[in-house]
Amino acid sequence: MRRVLPPVIVGIAAIVAWQLTVTLGRIAPFILPAPSEIWEQLVEQRQNVWEAALASGANALIGLIAGSIVAVLAAMVASRFRPVAEISIPFAAVVSALPIIALAPILNNMFETTSSIPRRLVAAIIVFFPVFLNTLRGLREVNPIHQELMHTYAAGGWTFATKVRLPGALPYVFTGLRQASSLAVIAAVVAEYFGGLQNGLGSRITSAAAFTAYPRAWAYVVGACLLGLVFYLTTLLLERLAMPWRSRLI
Amino acid sequence: MTAVVLDKVTKVFNRGRADEVTALAEVDLTVGDGEFVSLIGPSGCGKSTLLRLIADLIEPTTGTVRVAGKEAGRARRDQDYGIAFQQAGLFEWRTVRRNVELPLELRGMGKGERKARAEEMLALVGLAEFAGHYPAQLSGGMQQRVAIARALAVQPPLLLMDEPFGALDEMTRERLQGELLGICAQTGTSTVFVTHSISEAVFLSNRVVVMSARPGRITAAIPVDLPARDEAARQSERYFEHVTAVRQALRGVPATT
């Protein structure tokens, strides 16, 4: 309770301050609508927001799962064969610095306009890098004492990998997944700005803004925030379940 | 049969480079079956190196190391020894009990049997009620005791210990010294024990091997003959005579820089 209360109070205070600033300061709604208006729109549009969130969420989730699986497998291969890691790390670092979201319009042209694949692909590509780099680091970092102990137990390569390397890498995998879970949502939503199927949060935000329905656009933004939060918290929960030995999360 | 035989063992690190170090020079050492031998000396005298050679964690540059009558590598693969380091080195994702079970698991021991053995060992180091905890929930001293329980779990004929009690408080340390002696006497385990503490070396050992640095070599081997090894022995005349003898042997070596 003591840990939850302060951020909640700050959050409420911020919303109140926002409301007061907009109403007392007579700020035009196209600059910044009041929270009360956004809330009204959110309630009115809840069915649409929900459906759009489901569509974007499905894209983000599929991208997240596919990207993570490929990333973990790639990291395992790279850690097994040192030269592969030496080549792939700088390569991955450079590619991850590129604005992958910019691929969205190109991918959109590669598939049919009704296809969800381009957005899922963008999410998967964006997810790949943090998961790959973190997992690889985890797999390569083994406590030297653990290494020596397993050596004295005459443990073979496979035993060492499953009993020491993989469980030791889990915290790193989850660090990557935590970053990736938020990125997946961002990627799935933003990729919709560049055309393609118009059923997700991103396309709803652009169309509402195009009709100068700013409070409605904001209502969808709130939906996107909530979606990102759900992804992040789910990852935290999974982390907790997968690593009961970790007493702290961060 | 002898537990450990080192014959003219030399270990040179970084050979042929500018930072070449002779860690051990022409060391001969024999540890008899059931014998408790302590290695003592200043930092950098190669006592840990010596232990690691016996454990086949490193290979000698020249000379031979034989453990339980076999070449050291063979003995390691046969798991003829248990080992405990200065740092506990527990696997943080395993509970305390499963940490102790690991070497048994790798030997293919059945589930029920190794659980019983692990619990027995944990009781021995006084941590029975912490079996279900994770290492992160234990203090450093408790973690070290788990590591000792793990080394003992396989009931090895040879026990290698590298300052295992270094991080413990005096009370726990003395209690575990007593326990260790009890276990060794009961099972006939031979032990090579690296320590910085003269009193610890004397109390535990049949023989204290004194080493000196640069290059690491054995300068004296002092047999310790105590009638009993209990609390009274720690206060006995005989005990202090041996402590003095070891201290003099350590000092008798002029530091060469």
Place of tokens 């690991």: B102
Q: Which of B51, B76, B91, B114 to mutate to test the interface with A (most CBs of A within 10 A)?
A: B91
Question: Cis before residue A118, ω within 30 degrees of 0?
Answer: no
**In A, which residues are within 8 Å of B83 by CB distance?**
149, 152
| CA of A234 vs chain B CAs: smallest distance (Å) | 21
Confidence (pLDDT) at A1: 65
Q: Which two tokens stand for residue B95?
A: 């509970």
User: Across the strands, what pairs with B218?
Assistant: B211
Tens of pLDDT, residue by residue over B172-181, are 888 888 888 8
Tens of pLDDT, residue by residue over B7-53, are 888 888 888 888 888 888 888 999 988 899 999 988 888 888 899 99
Confidence (pLDDT) at A247: 67
Q: Could you give phi then psi for residue B212, rounded to 5 degrees?
A: -135, 165
Q: Which two tokens stand for residue A89?
A: 């790390």
* B164 interfaces chain A, CB cutoff of 8 Å: no
Domains and CATH numbers, chain A: 34-242 (1.10.3720.10)
Confidence (pLDDT) at A209: 84
**What's the CATH fold of domain B2-80+156-251?**
Rossmann fold (3.40.50)
Please indicate whether residue B55 or residue A100 has the higher confidence score (pLDDT). Answer: B55
Low-confidence ranges of chain A (pLDDT < 70): 1, 247-250
Confidence (pLDDT) at B257: 38
Please give the span between the terminal C-alpha atoms of chain A, in angstroms, as a whole number.
19
Confidence (pLDDT) at B116: 92
Whether the predicted interface score ipTM is above 0.90: no
**How many CB pairs lie under 8 A apart between chains A and B?**
51
When computed from its CA atoms, the radius of gyration of chain B, rounded to whole angstroms, is 18
Instruction: Tell me the residue type at B242.
Output: H
Tens of pLDDT, residue by residue over A111-141, are 877 788 888 998 999 999 999 999 999 998 8
* B81 interfaces chain A, CB cutoff of 8 Å: yes
**Do B83 and A152 lie within an 8 Å CB cutoff?**
yes
Helices (H), B154-230: 170-187, 198-204
Facing residue for B93 by CB, picked from A148, A243, A247: A243
Q: Which two tokens stand for residue A235?
A: 């990852």
3-state secondary structure of B37: strand
**In B, which residues are within 8 Å of A154 by CB distance?**
76-79, 106
* In chain B, where the domains are located: 2-80+156-251, 90-155
Query: Would you say the pTM of this structure is higher than 0.80?
Result: no
Q: Does B134 score more than 80 pLDDT?
A: yes
| CA of A210 vs chain B CAs: smallest distance (Å) | 53
Confidence (pLDDT) at A158: 86
Facing residue for B134 by CB, picked from A163, A164, A245: A245
Confidence (pLDDT) at B166: 83
Q: Which of B74, B81, B93, B99 to mutate to test the interface with A (most CBs of A within 10 A)?
A: B93
